[in-house]
C-alpha cells in the first residue's frame, strides 16, 4: 500500500533522538500519551523473579539515575542547547535544525510515520479536555477564544521566517523546520497561527538570546479556522521578541493547491515536479505561518533535494551545499517584506533560457527541456524583458528583486500566479510556437504575462490590507493587460477597443444580475475569501479604473499611481489610500474632485446604472436624464430586500455629444447624481441625435427614446463612420442587452445589425458576435430557430464573400500580421460557419479532408479552431477519432487546447458522452482542462442536456477536485447552467440545489437567477422576436 511505502521512507527513530526527547519532555507537561511518550519514557523495572541484583549495584544505579535527573533539570533551567540528531545514514534525509530551544512540545506521532490529519493526530485525551475547559471559560467571558475567530488575533506580529525544507520526490512527502521571529504587541499566553493538513512533530518557544525559554503547556489544531494553537505556561511580554520553532512534515499533494506535484513525459519517461500555489489561503498547507496579507515579513528559505533536481524560490540562490549521498541544499537570499500568499518554491528538473533588462534584472524562463529546446518560451522571455522596462518607466518605481523567473508547469489551477520573483504559469498560457499558433493564442499568452508582471507592483510590492479589496490588485492587473499590450503592439488599440468587448461588455452581463455583489465586499471568514476572486473583482475593477482614468485625465491618473506605489511600497494599502492619493494628484493640477465620494458609490454598491436620455417635446434643447439600476430580470427580488433597487444612486460622469448625418460635436461631461435631472443641450436640432457615454469610458448602459434610436440606426446605415468605432460597438451591445432585459423592443438590436454589411472594422463585428451568442443559445433548441439562423446568415453573407479565407501563413510572423483585418476575417468566418453558411462548411470539410489524406496540416493558423470544430460537427466519427489521435500525439500546448475543444463540437451524443467520461481521467485530460470540456459540451445544443446530467451525477467528484480552487467551481456551475432555459430545467436546477452537498452556494444562487431570466425571456419576448424576423425576411 502507498501509505506503508511512505512510512518506510520516512526518517527512522534513532537512540539519540529518543534520549533528547526524554530530556526535553521533563520541561513539558500535559502532553497526551502516544508513541513518542512510550519511546521516551523510562523502561518498566524487571521483577525479582527474573534477575537478582547485588544491593550495592542497585544503590549505585539509583545514585546514577538521581545524578542524571539533576543534570537534566539544570540543563533545562539554563536553556542548554542540544544538538539535534540527524537521520540515519541509510534513510531519507531529514530537515536539519539549528539546535533545540527550551520549552518544547512533541506531538504524539512517530517520526517514522507519514503525516496524517492533524485534527486526528493531536486532539484527544487530556489535551482535548483542557481545550474544552478553556473554550467554556471563553464562553463565560462571552467572547470566542482567539483560535475560533475568523481572523488571527492581533497580539503577535511575525518579523522574519527562517524556513528549511527537505523534499522527498520519490514518495511525495516533505519535512520542514520553520523558525519565526515574533514581536509581541499585547501580552498573551497563546500563539495562534495557520497550519493545515500537516503533522507537527515538535514546537519550541524561546525569548531572545539573553533570556531563557518559554515552556509550552500544550498544542492543538483547530480545524474550523485552520489554525494551530500553542498554549504557553506564561504570557509573552509586550515589546519583547520571541522565536517560535516548529518541526513538521506533510504530503506533496496530488492536487492543485499548497505544495503539490505535477508531471510530464519526456522520452517515454514520466518525470515529476513539485510546485506551490499559496494564494489566497494555502501557504498554511506548506508551512505554519500567519497566512493573512497584512502580516508581511522577510523570509529566508533553504530547500534540500536530490541533486538530480533543481530548486527555485522568490530570490536567487545564495549558496548550494552538496553532500556525498547525492543530496544538495540550496540557500536562497532573504526576501524583502512580503505576504505569505505570494511566497513560492519549486523542485523540478527543468532547463531554462535567460535575458537581462536594462536595469540588470535577470529574467529566466524554466520549462520542460524539450519545450526550451524548441524555443517555445522565447516569445514570453523577450516580452517579459520589455514589459519590466515598460512598468519601471510608467510607475517610476524600479522592479524590486534581482531576478524574475517564469515557470511553465503542466498542471496549475489558474492561468498563472504572480509570486514575487517566481511567477508560475500553466504551459498553455506561456509557451508559444509561432509556426502553429494563431493571433488569438499569441494575444492570450501576451495578456496573461502582462497581467502577472503588473502584479509585481500591484499586489506584491503594494498589497491589499485584506481580501475585501482584492480588486486593488486584480483590477489594476486586468486593466494593464490592455495598456501593456498596447505598449508591445501600438496598432492594436487594445485599451480603447478590445477592452470594451472582452472586459466591459462581459462583466456587465454578470453585474446585471440581482445576485451580483459590490466590487469591495465584506470578508469575514476563510470560506468568504474564495468568492471575492471572480470577474466582478477582475473585470469590474478594471472597468472602474478605466472610467476613473478617463475623467481624471490619463497623465494625472498616472502621476497618482506613481505616488501611491512610492508611498506604500513594501507595505499594505486599502481603497481609501488610493482615493486619497488620487485626490491629491488632482489638486496638484488645480482640480477638486472628492474621489472617495464618487468611487465609494461604484465600489460599495453592486450593479451599475442604465442612463435614459429623453428629449423634451415641450421645451427646446432640454433633455431629461434619469438613472436606475440595470437588472436583467425585474421580477427578481433584490439581494437586500430592505433596500430594494430604488435607492441605488451613482455619481455618473456622463459624456455626451450631438450629431447629424455628417458631423458629431465634441463631447461634454455632465455629472449625473440624482434620480432624474433636466439639462440644456445647445445646438440640439430636430434632425440631430444624441449619443451618450462617448467611447464607452463609463461603466453604465445608455438608453434613449425610440425616436433617437431610429435616428442612430439611420445614421449607421447612411454613414456609420461619423460615430466612433468604440461607440458603434457600444450601441450594439447596449441595444441587445436592453432588449434582453425588456427596456427596448426586440427588433431594435436586429435593425442595428443591418448596417454591418458595410462595417470594415473588427470591433463592432466582435461586439455583435458576442451579443448574438447568448441570444443564439436561448433559441437554438426552439422549433423556429431556422428563422433566426437565416436572418443572421443574410447579415453576414456579403462581408463573408468580400473577405474570403486566409491563405496558409505558416512562415509569416504573427506579430507582423494585420491584427485588425485578420481578426475581422476570423470573426466573420466564425459566424458564417456557426450559422451554417454552405460555402463555409464546404471549405472547412475540404481543409480537414486534405489534412487527413496528406497528414500535412495546411489549415491557416488563425482559423484552425473554427475548421476543427466545423469538421467534427459535420463529418463522420472517423474525423472525431482523427482529431482525438492528434490531441494525444501533439506536444504543442496551443494545438492541444484547440484540438480538445474541437472534440466537444460533435453532433454525435455517444461521442459527447464518451468525452465527458474521459474528462475526469487525469492521465487523459489535465485537471484544469476537464472543466472546459464539460462547459463546451454544455454549449453544444446536442450536448447541453448531457453535460447538465453529467454535472449532477459527478458533482461530488467535481466539487472535491475543484471546490477549493478560485474560479473553478463558479466557472463550472455557470458554464453548465447559463443556457438552460426551460421550466423543466429550472425545476431540475432548484431540486438539485436542495439535495447537493456543500460548496458554490453563491454560484448556484447566480445560476438560478440566470435560468429564471432565460425562462422569463422565452415567455415574454420570444414570439415578439420571431414575428419581427418573419416580417423582415419576407420584405
Catalytic annotation, residues? 452
Contact 369, 269 (CB under 8 A): no
- Would you tell me how many other CB atoms lie within 10 Å of the CB of residue 861? 26
**Distance in angstroms (rounded) separating the CA atoms of residues 81 and 635:** 71
**Distance in angstroms (rounded) separating the CA atoms of residues 513 and 607:** 8
**Distance in angstroms (rounded) separating the CA atoms of residues 694 and 697:** 7
**Distance in angstroms (rounded) separating the CA atoms of residues 484 and 462:** 19
Task: Read off the C-alpha cell for 26.
Answer: 521533563
**Distance in angstroms (rounded) separating the CA atoms of residues 370 and 365:** 13
Block residue for cell numbers 485588425? 820
> In degrees to the nearest 10, what's the CA dihedral of 595, 598, 604, 605?
-160
Block residue for cell numbers 459540451? 937
**Distance in angstroms (rounded) separating the CA atoms of residues 972 and 978:** 10
Task: Read off the C-alpha cell for 592.
Answer: 477638486
CA distances from 947 to 635, 905, 955, 1003 (A): 29, 13, 11, 17
All residues at 6 or more sequence positions from 468 whose CB lies less than 8 Å from its CB, including other chains: 520, 521, 522, 523, 532
Half-sphere exposure of 91 (CA within 13 A, CB side): 16
CA distances from 623 to 78, 209, 629, 744 (A): 86, 77, 20, 19
Task: Read off the C-alpha cell for 569.
Answer: 511600497
Helices (H), 419-520: 439-455, 471-488, 499, 505-511
Per-residue burial over 724-746, b = 16 or more CB atoms within 10 Å of its CB, e = otherwise: bbbbbbbbbbbbbbbbbbbbbbb
3-state secondary structure of 440: helix
- Would you tell me how many other CB atoms lie within 10 Å of the CB of residue 825? 23
Query: Closest by alpha carbon to 450, among 390, 510, 373?
Result: 390
**Distance in angstroms (rounded) separating the CA atoms of residues 806 and 837:** 17
Contact 189, 231 (CB under 8 A): yes
**Distance in angstroms (rounded) separating the CA atoms of residues 347 and 327:** 13
**Distance in angstroms (rounded) separating the CA atoms of residues 859 and 481:** 30
Question: What sign for the dihedral angle of Cα 116, 119, 122, 126?
Answer: negative
Q: What are phi and psi of 589, to 5 degrees?
A: -105, 20
**Distance in angstroms (rounded) separating the CA atoms of residues 395 and 567:** 12
Query: Closest by alpha carbon to 202, among 93, 110, 329?
Result: 110
All residues at 6 or more sequence positions from 711 whose CB lies less than 8 Å from its CB, including other chains: 687, 688, 689
CA distances from 917 to 749, 873, 910, 954, 959 (A): 40, 19, 11, 10, 16
Task: Read off the C-alpha cell for 165.
Answer: 525544507
**Distance in angstroms (rounded) separating the CA atoms of residues 368 and 272:** 11
All residues at 6 or more sequence positions from 972 whose CB lies less than 8 Å from its CB, including other chains: 931, 934, 935, 951, 958, 962
Q: Which residues pair with 629 in a beta bridge?
A: 609
Amino acid at each position: 500500500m502507498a501509505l506503508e511505502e511512505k512510512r518506510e521512507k520516512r526518517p527512522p527513530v534513532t537512540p539519540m533522538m529518543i534520549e533528547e526527547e526524554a530530556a526535553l519532555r521533563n520541561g513539558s507537561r500535559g502532553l497526551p500519551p502516544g508513541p513518542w511518550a512510550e519511546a521516551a519514557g523510562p523502561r518498566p523495572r524487571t521483577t525479582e523473579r527474573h534477575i537478582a541484583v547485588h544491593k550495592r549495584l542497585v544503590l549505585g544505579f539509583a545514585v546514577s539515575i538521581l545524578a542524571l535527573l539533576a543534570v537534566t533539570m539544570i540543563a533545562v533551567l539554563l536553556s542548554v542547547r542540544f544538538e539535534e540528531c540527524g537521520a540515519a545514514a541509510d534513510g531519507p534525509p531529514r530537515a536539519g535544525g539549528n539546535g533545540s530551544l527550551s520549552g518544547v512540545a512533541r506531538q504524539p506521532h512517530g517520526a517514522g510515520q507519514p503525516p496524517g490529519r492533524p485534527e486526528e493526530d493531536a486532539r484527544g485525551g487530556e489535551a482535548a479536555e483542557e481545550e474544552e475547559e478553556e473554550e467554556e471559560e471563553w464562553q463565560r467571558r462571552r467572547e470566542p477564544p482567539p483560535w475560533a475567530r475568523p481572523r488571527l488575533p492581533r497580539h503577535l506580529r511575525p518579523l522574519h521566517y527562517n524556513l528549511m525544507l527537505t523534499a522527498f520526490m520519490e514518495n511525495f512527502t516533505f519535512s520542514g523546520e520553520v523558525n519565526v521571529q515574533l514581536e509581541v504587541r499585547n501580552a498573551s499566553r497563546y500563539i495562534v497561527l495557520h497550519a493545515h493538513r500537516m503533522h507537527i512533530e515538535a514546537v519550541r518557544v524561546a525569548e531572545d538570546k539573553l533570556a531563557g525559554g518559554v515552556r509550552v503547556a500544550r498544542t492543538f489544531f483547530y480545524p474550523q479556522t485552520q489554525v494551530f494553537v500553542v498554549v504557553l505556561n506564561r504570557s509573552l511580554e509586550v515589546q519583547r521578541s520571541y522565536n517560535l520553532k516548529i518541526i513538521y512534515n506533510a504530503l506533496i499533494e496530488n492536487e492543485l493547491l499548497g505544495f503539490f506535484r505535477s508531471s510530464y513525459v519526456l522520452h517515454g519517461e514520466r518525470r515529476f515536479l513539485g510546485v506551490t500555489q499559496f494564494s489566497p489561503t494555502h501557504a498554511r498547507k506548506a508551512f505554519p505561518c500567519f497566512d493573512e496579507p497584512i502580516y508581511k515579513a522577510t523570509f529566508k528559505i533553504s530547500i534540500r533535494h536530490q541533486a538530480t533536481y533543481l530548486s527555485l524560490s522568490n530570490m536567487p540562490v545564495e549558496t548550494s551545499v552538496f553532500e556525498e549521498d547525492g543530496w544538495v541544499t540550496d540557500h536562497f537570499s532573504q526576501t524583502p517584506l512580503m505576504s505569505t500568499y505570494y511566497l513560492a518554491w519549486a523542485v523540478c528538473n527543468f532547463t531554462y533560457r535567460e535575458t537581462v533588462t536594462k536595469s540588470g534584472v535577470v529574467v529566466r524562463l524554466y520549462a520542460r527541456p524539450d519545450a526550451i529546446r524548441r524555443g517555445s518560451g522565447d516569445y514570453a522571455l523577450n516580452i517579459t524583458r520589455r514589459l519590466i522596462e515598460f512598468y519601471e518607466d510608467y510607475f517610476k518605481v524600479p522592479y524590486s528583486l534581482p531576478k524574475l523567473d517564469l515557470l511553465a508547469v503542466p498542471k496549475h489551477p489558474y492561468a498563472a500566479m504572480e509570486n514575487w520573483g517566481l511567477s508560475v504559469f500553466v504551459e498553455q498560457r506561456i509557451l508559444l510556437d509561432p509556426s502553429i499558433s494563431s493571433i488569438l493564442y499569441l494575444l492570450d499568452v501576451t495578456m496573461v504575462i502582462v497581467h502577472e508582471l503588473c502584479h509585481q507592483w500591484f499586489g506584491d510590492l503594494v498589497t491589499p490590507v485584506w481580501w475585501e479589496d482584492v480588486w486593488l490588485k486584480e483590477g489594476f492587473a486586468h486593466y494593464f493587460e490592455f495598456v501593456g499590450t498596447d505598449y508591445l503592439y501600438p496598432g492594436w488599440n487594445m485599451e480603447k477597443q478590445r477592452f470594451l468587448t472582452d472586459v466591459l461588455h462581459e462583466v456587465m452581463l454578470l453585474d446585471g444580475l440581482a445576485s451580483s455583489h459590490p466590487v469591495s465586499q465584506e470578508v469575514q471568514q476563510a470560506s468568504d475569501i474564495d468568492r471575492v476572486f471572480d470577474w466582478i473583482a477582475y473585470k469590474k475593477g478594471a472597468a472602474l479604473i478605466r472610467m476613473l482614468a478617463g475623467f481624471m485625465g490619463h497623465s494625472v491618473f498616472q502621476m497618482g499611481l506613481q505616488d501611491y506605489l512610492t508611498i506604500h511600497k513594501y507595505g499594505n494599502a486599502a481603497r481609501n489610500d488610493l482615493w486619497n492619493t488620487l485626490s491629491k494628484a488632482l489638486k496638484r493640477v488645480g482640480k477638486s474632485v472628492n474621489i472617495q465620494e464618487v468611487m465609494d458609490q461604484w465600489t460599495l454598491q453592486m450593479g451599475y446604472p442604465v442612463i435614459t436620455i429623453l428629449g423634451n417635446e415641450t421645451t427646446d434643447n432640454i433633455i431629461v436624464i434619469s438613472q436606475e439600476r440595470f437588472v436583467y430580470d425585474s421580477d427578481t427580488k433584490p439581494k437586500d430586500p430592505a433596500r430594494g433597487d430604488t435607492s441605488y444612486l451613482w455619481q455618473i460622469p456622463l459624456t455626451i455629444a450631438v450629431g447629424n448625418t455628417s458631423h458629431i460635436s465634441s463631447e461634454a461631461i455632465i455629472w449625473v447624481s440624482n434620480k432624474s435631472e433636466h439639462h440644456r443641450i445647445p445646438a440640439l436640432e430636430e434632425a440631430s441625435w444624441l449619443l451618450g457615454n462617448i467611447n464607452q469610458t463609463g461603466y453604465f448602459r445608455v438608453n434613449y427614446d425610440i425616436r433617437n434610436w431610429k435616428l442612430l440606426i439611420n445614421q449607421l446605415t447612411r454613414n456609420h463612420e461619423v460615430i466612433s468605432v468604440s461607440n458603434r460597438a457600444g450601441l450594439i451591445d447596449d441595444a441587445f442587452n436592453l432588449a434582453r432585459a425588456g427596456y427596448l423592443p426586440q427588433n431594435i438590436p436586429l435593425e442595428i445589425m443591418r448596417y454591418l454589411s458595410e462595417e470594415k472594422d473588427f470591433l463592432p463585428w466582435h461586439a455583435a458576435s458576442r451579443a448574438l451568442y447568448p441570444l443564439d443559445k436561448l433559441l437554438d433548441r426552439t422549433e423556429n430557430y431556422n428563422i433566426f439562423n437565416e436572418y443572421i446568415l443574410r447579415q453576414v453573407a456579403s462581408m463573408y464573400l468580400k473577405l474570403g479565407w486566409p491563405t496558409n501563413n505558416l512562415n509569416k510572423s504573427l506579430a507582423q500580421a494585420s491584427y485588425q483585418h485578420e481578426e475581422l476575417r476570423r470573426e466573420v468566418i466564425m459566424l458564417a460557419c456557426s450559422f451554417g453558411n454552405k460555402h463555409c462548411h464546404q471549405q472547412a470539410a475540404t481543409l480537414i479532408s486534405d489534412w487527413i489524406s496528406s497528414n500535412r496540416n495546411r489549415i491557416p493558423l488563425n482559423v484552425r479552431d473554427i475548421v476543427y470544430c466545423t469538421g467534427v460537427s459535420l463529418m463522420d466519427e472517423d474525423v472525431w477519432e482523427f482529431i482525438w489521435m492528434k490531441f494525444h500525439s501533439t506536444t504543442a500546448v496551443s494545438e492541444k487546447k484547440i484540438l480538445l475543444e474541437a472534440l466537444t463540437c460533435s453532433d454525435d451524443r455517444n461521442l459527447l458522452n464518451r468525452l465527458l467520461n474521459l474528462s475526469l481521467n487525469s492521465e487523459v485530460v489535465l485537471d484544469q482542462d476537464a472543466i472546459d470540456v464539460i462547459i463546451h459540451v454544455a454549449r453544444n445544443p446536442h450536448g447541453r442536456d448531457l453535460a447538465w446530467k453529467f454535472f449532477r451525477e459527478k458533482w461530488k467528484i467535481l466539487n472535491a477536485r475543484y471546490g477549493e480552487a478560485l474560479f473553478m467551481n463558479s466557472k463550472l456551475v455557470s458554464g453548465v447552467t447559463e443556457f438552460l432555459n426551460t421550466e423543466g430545467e429550472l425545476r431540475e436546477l432548484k431540486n438539485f440545489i436542495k439535495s447537493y452537498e456543500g460548496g458554490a452556494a453563491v454560484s448556484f444562487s447566480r445560476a438560478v437567477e440566470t435560468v429564471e431570466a432565460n425562462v422569463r425571456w422565452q415567455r415574454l419576448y420570444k414570439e415578439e422576436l420571431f414575428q419581427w424576423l418573419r416580417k423582415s425576411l419576407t420584405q
